[in-house]
With several copies, the nearest count.
Chain A
Amino acid sequence: MKSNNVLASIEAMVFAAGDPVEPSKLAEVLNIDVENVIKMLGHLQASYDERNSGLRLIRIDGKYQLCTREEYSDEVRGLLEIKKNTPLSQAAFEVLAIVAYNKTVTRSFIEQIRGVDCSGPVSNLVQKGLIEEKGRLDLPGRPLVYGTTDRFLRCFSLNSLEDLPDLPEEAEQKDDSQTSLFDSDDKKDEILKENTENPDGEVTEE
């Protein structure tokens, strides 16, 4: 490998790693001396600075990491704020609802109900602070259990999980006279209105 390519491959590795990387690890992968790697990292560092890149290569504790240059932190923050404020996806809403209505659940429980892998929405909700890990189940594999957070209660203006709107299935047990699929639309509106006092209504249709 030419030295130019070594430089580029170091750049690629440091980029993909995200976290700070030890030069010795890079040396191991490339099968070259650590001194050589450190020299290359120096070149890389200089080249980012010379061309006034928006990025820089920093050294922390002998490890190296790519990050944005502090001059642009306002812009970076601005962009990330916009991204952060994208509303919850339908998938995230459903996962959140399953966690909330069941208080504590494992991911596989959520996936069983939804019929699809839910690792994406689950970690998204954890990042947003709406659900959190509540421990592990004493089962093979010791699966993590998730529950909702105080932030969740605030975002949905709830005092506690007891305040969640009643589920229609409980309603069906109490009173199944209203479960017909053929309820007329205005009937449905009525039911929706009444739902606060009379949670028996059929509200499953959109």
Chain B
Amino acid sequence: MEQINYKIDVFEGPMDLLLHLISKHKLDINDIPIIELVNQYVDYVRQMQEQDFDVAGEFLEMAARLIYIKTVSLLPKHEEAEILKKELTGELIEYRDCKLMAEKLSHQTEGFDRFVRPAQEGYVNYSYERFHEGEELLNAYISAAGRGKRKLPPPIDSFKVIVAKKFVAVATKVNTVMRKLWSGKKVKFLSLFEDAQTKSDMVATFLAVLELAKTKRISIDGSIENPSVQIVNEVKDIEK
């Protein structure tokens, strides 16, 4: 794969990055090949992290969303995936239009060269002369401050944990899963998740299993409640 060398500040956010990937790889925005897009996106986010960028939460959130869409589209019945994909497509089109309009606006800024002046002073005393009820102030205060408990925006610090959280790559989980199955023994599906520490760990492990099953490197059987997983590999076949 070619070396990705984007600068993060080029992108206004995950939507911007997605549009970039779509146009760069000439994907059809109306029928996004979701797996391809997820791979591109996740690769890019990983690059950002490797280059020590302070990856914003929004990028990770989008990664999780894409992975979820990919997950449900790997299921045999994927109506949900279609809906989610449509939703994403709609949002991308909206944002693309937004960018187009922004672009157009940015070409007609000559009005910024017109200057106006404040009202002429000395004619009118601007002191306020209307009368109001105290209740109006109370209502205005409640509007402004909510119920006195309006949440102020959380401090930047509180995002550190989220932003710093390691984004678990499916690729690494493929290795982990393969290592567990290497002996050729059947392994309980659920046991693959035993050392998962985070949600994204579990999602990645699950995706890894799906990937491996899809490429027929492992087989899944047993009951739905308690399936087991086994490696399908030539070495084992020869030993037989």
Q: Do chains A and B touch in the complex (CB under 8 A)?
A: yes
B45 nearest CB across to chain A (Å): 14
Any B CB within 8 A of the CB of A27: no
Which residues on B sit within 8 Å (CB–CB) of A167?
Answer: 97, 100-101, 138, 141-142, 148
**How far is A115 from B154 in the complex, measured between Cα atoms in Å?**
12
B-contact 0/1 string along A63-94, CB 8 Å cutoff: 00111111001001100110111011011011
Question: Nearest-CB distance from B49 to chain A (Å)?
Answer: 18
List A contacts of B143 (CB < 8 A): 90, 94, 136, 142
Which listed residue (B13, B137, B150, B152) contacts A93, Cβ 8 A? B137
Docked complex: A77-119 residues within 8 A CB-CB of B: 77, 80-81, 83-85, 87-88, 90-91, 93-98, 100-101, 112-117, 119
Q: CA of A203 to CA of B149 in the docked complex: distance in angstroms? A: 14
Closest to B126 in A: A127
Q: Which of B96, B110, B114 has the most CB of A within 10 A?
A: B114
A41 in the interface (beta carbon within 8 A) = no
A73 touches B116 (CB 8 A): no
Number of B interface residues in the complex (CB < 8 A)? 73
A157 in contact with B124 given A90-B102, A93-B136, A178-B93 (CB within 8 Å): no
Q: Taking A66-B116, A115-B13, A167-B100 as contacts, is the C-beta distance between A94 and B130 under 8 angstroms?
A: no
In Å, the complex CA distance between A65 and B108 comes to 19
The 26 sampled A-B contact pairs (Cβ below 8 Å) are: A68-B120, A70-B110, A85-B129, A94-B140, A96-B140, A97-B102, A97-B105, A97-B138, A101-B141, A113-B94, A114-B144, A115-B58, A115-B62, A115-B153, A141-B150, A155-B112, A155-B114, A155-B128, A164-B101, A165-B105, A167-B141, A171-B100, A172-B148, A178-B93, A180-B93, A204-B91
